[in-house]
Amino acid sequence: MKEGDNYWEKMLRRTYSRRELVRTSAKVGAVLAGTSLLGCGGTNTPQPSAGAATKTVSSTAPTRGGTITLHQAGNFSGLEAVTGTGGSDQQFLWTVFDNLVAYDKDMKPTAERSLSESWENPDPLTYIFHLRKGIKFHDGTAFNAAAVKANFEYAVDPNVKSNVRADLTAVKTVEVVDENTAKFVLSSPHAPLITILGDRTGMMSSPDAIKKWGKDYIRNPVGTGAFTFVEQVLDDHVTVKRNPNYWQKDHPYVDEVTWKIIPDGDVAMTGLKTGQLNLMWAIPGKEVAEIKSSNKLKFMEREGVWVDMIYLNSMRPPFNNRNVRRALAYAIDRATIAKEILYGTATAAGSSLGPGNWEFDPNAKGLQYDPAKAKEELTAGGTPNGFKFDMRVMNSPIWVQVAQAIKAQAAKVGIEIDLKVLPAPDYYMGFISNAEGSSFLASFSGRADPWQTLAFIFGKDGTYGKAGTQYLDTKLNGLIDKARETYDPQERKRLYNEADKLALDEAYGVFLWYPRTLVAMDPRVRLDVFGDGKPHLGQGDVWIGK
């Protein structure tokens, strides 16, 4: 060792004193210990094994066990049916709650899935529900006609922040005929009620639990469902576990369902690919091609009830002019946007009702892309050289691309669109609360019954009617009201389609396309995709095979 060597020179010549050796070994040991942490695996969700490569699902009998893990972008707005407000809560609600009348995957009410064995309409103002016997809520209390009555009273209580009140305006009272028979007495005929009961409105909560928790019931749901609520850690996860006393024998098949709250869709997709999730609902369009060709994941799709649309303020210029609205509707090449920007995962729309509703008319044309007609309408409307308006849109990459494509297409006929890109909820909030702006671009999630869709968007008591942004068309409202009172399904379907055709003709909204429901999952997961486009994981709806 030369005199005057500094520390670094010494290191290079690798002459260590014993103290230095001990110190270095300690550091190396620490690094090795750290690296070994990377090795300790142990995720507790099943990894898709290399062997399970086949995509063809053999029709084996359902098997017991396993956990379904899927994701949600944000917290559920509420864990119970009446006071929750989000359109994506139902996937949770249908695990913990059953419906008075439930519908099947084709949106047809079916007794097999319902808390009612049967129901009838002795006259237009009466519904009688014959309830199943011996069903208990998760807290041990009995489900019976008194419970149905209590649920109704909770749903229409003026002090309760009830989101289903509008669905029940026609119901005057609910009477207990006997232990297992409940009678709904209506103030006016209400045919859609049976289908509506398949959603929030018909979900039955334990009256004892509602009384016990009061306003906090929104965090402590108690139903009759296939799963019981375990816990919610906000922004992290929600878990439900199998109800061993479920009234449907052998159901549910899986032991547990967990929703992980993951805001970023790409990160969630990674989770599906690495096995953290075994189910992903509403996958991004850009992933479809890869998932379809992958043998590690299974892809399912189905037409749903969602409709993407431009909401218009038809109460003031420019859209208080019918020709101007129609011009915009003609100016948009829906099929091209669906193909190029949405990766072909949507179908051009000619109706406000999506194909998932059984009342859907596949022949409904609406106003499709026709620049010549757009120009004609502009001239007829007194704006031959076009006009300008502002459109709000959510600040997600796909929506912005869609909005820019629409803007470019509209510009070709002289319509100038001023885009305002905003985060949720700002992009719709101003429009709804203060009638700000001329329009906004968004998805409508659809409803179990078309009456709800038509009333919600065009009706005088709907969100937009109340907001003062929707022109209250007497003829249209008349049709909607008449349909509501028509019990004959075929006649009602005809009326729905007539109302829809009128709404499209008047271009009260510009209906763009129907996004299909896109689902990716571990190949061992078995489920059906329902027409409503929402995950149904309760009852016997999902199981994990081999």
Partner 1 sequence: MTSYILRRLVAMVPVILLVTIVTFGLMRVLPGDPAVAMIGLEADPSLRQLVRQEMGLDKPLYLQYTDWLGRSLHGDFGIAYRTRSPVGPMILSRLPVTLELGVLGMLIAACISLPVGILSAIRPNSKLDIFGTVFAVTGVAVPNFWLGLLMILLFAQILGWLPPFGYVPLLNNFGENLRSMVLPAAALGMAEAAVLTRMTRSSLVEVLRQEYVTAARSKGLAERAVILRHALKNSLIPVVTILGLQISRLIGGAVILETVFALPGIGRLAVDSILYREFMVVQGVVLLMALAVVFSNLFIDILYGYLDPRIRYS
Task: Give residue 144's identity as a one-letter amino acid code.
Answer: N
Order of strands, sheet of 227-233, starting from the edge strand that comes earlier in the sequence: 67-72, 256-261, 237-242, 227-233
Compare residues 42 and 244 and give the one whose CB is closer to partner 1. Answer: 42
Closest approach, Cβ 428 to partner 1, in A, equals: 5
Q: By CB neighbour count within 10 A (0-12 exposed, 13-18 middle, 19+ buried), where does 335 fall?
A: middle
Closest approach, Cβ 47 to partner 1, in A, equals: 9
Task: Give residue 371's identity as a one-letter amino acid code.
Answer: P
Compare residues 28 and 177 and give the one whose CB is closer to partner 1. Answer: 28
Compare residues 6 and 59 and give the one whose CB is closer to partner 1. Answer: 6
Closest approach, Cβ 489 to partner 1, in A, equals: 26
Query: CA 386, CA 97: separation in Å to the nearest integer?
Result: 52
Residue 72 parent element (H or E): strand 67-72
Compare residues 129 and 399 and give the one whose CB is closer to partner 1. Answer: 399
Closest approach, Cβ 524 to partner 1, in A, equals: 19
Compare residues 217 and 360 and give the one whose CB is closer to partner 1. Answer: 217
Q: What distances in angstroms separate CA 331 from CA 296, 300, 334, one per listed residue?
A: 42, 33, 9
**Is the separation of the CB atoms in 473 and 506 below 8 Å?**
yes
Query: CA 496, CA 491: separation in Å to the nearest integer?
Result: 9
Closest approach, Cβ 80 to partner 1, in A, equals: 11
**Is the separation of the CB atoms in 177 and 145 below 8 Å?**
yes
The set of residues, in sequence order, having a beta carbon less than 8 Å from that of 41 and lying 6+ positions away, is none
Closest approach, Cβ 277 to partner 1, in A, equals: 9
Closest approach, Cβ 290 to partner 1, in A, equals: 12
Compare residues 75 and 401 and give the one whose CB is closer to partner 1. Answer: 75
Angle at which helices 450-458 and 474-484 cross, to 10°: 150
Phi, psi of 106 (to 5 degrees): -100, 20
Task: Give residue 240's identity as a one-letter amino acid code.
Answer: V
Closest approach, Cβ 406 to partner 1, in A, equals: 19
User: Could you please report the per-residue DSSP string of 435-491?
Assistant: --SSEEEEEE---SSHHHHHHHHHSTTSHHHHHT-S---HHHHHHHHHHHT---HHH
Contact positions vs partner 1 (CB under 8 A): 6-8, 37-38, 40, 42-43, 74-75, 77-78, 85-87, 159, 161-166, 215-216, 218-219, 233-236, 260-264, 266-268, 270-271, 273-274, 276, 423-426, 428-430, 432-434, 436, 442, 445, 462-463, 466-467
Query: CA 174, CA 128: separation in Å to the nearest integer?
Result: 10
Compare residues 299 and 464 and give the one whose CB is closer to partner 1. Answer: 464
**Is the separation of the CB atoms in 380 and 410 below 8 Å?**
no
Compare residues 37 and 61 and give the one whose CB is closer to partner 1. Answer: 37
User: Could you please report the per-residue DSSP string of 209-259?
Assistant: HHHHHGGGGGGS---SSSEEEEEEETTTEEEEEE-TT-SSTT---SSEEEE
Compare residues 132 and 273 and give the one whose CB is closer to partner 1. Answer: 273
Residue of 196, 198, 150, 146 whose CA lies nearest to 170: 196
Closest approach, Cβ 416 to partner 1, in A, equals: 24
Compare residues 182 and 279 and give the one whose CB is closer to partner 1. Answer: 279
Closest approach, Cβ 331 to partner 1, in A, equals: 25
Residue of 224, 226, 227, 198 whose CA lies nearest to 106: 198
User: Could you please report the per-residue DSSP string of 83-139?
Assistant: T---TT-HHHHHHH--BSSEE-TTS-EEGGGSSEEEEEEEETTEEEEEEPSS-B-TT
Question: What is the torsional sign of CA 204, 354, 477, 471?
Answer: positive
Closest approach, Cβ 216 to partner 1, in A, equals: 5
Compare residues 282 and 442 and give the one whose CB is closer to partner 1. Answer: 442
**Is the separation of the CB atoms in 300 and 519 below 8 Å?**
yes
Residue of 62, 66, 182 whose CA lies nearest to 126: 182
Closest approach, Cβ 157 to partner 1, in A, equals: 11
Question: Residue 109: is the preceding peptide bond cis (ω within 30°)?
Answer: no
Compare residues 287 and 333 and give the one whose CB is closer to partner 1. Answer: 287
Closest approach, Cβ 413 to partner 1, in A, equals: 29
Compare residues 64 and 219 and give the one whose CB is closer to partner 1. Answer: 219
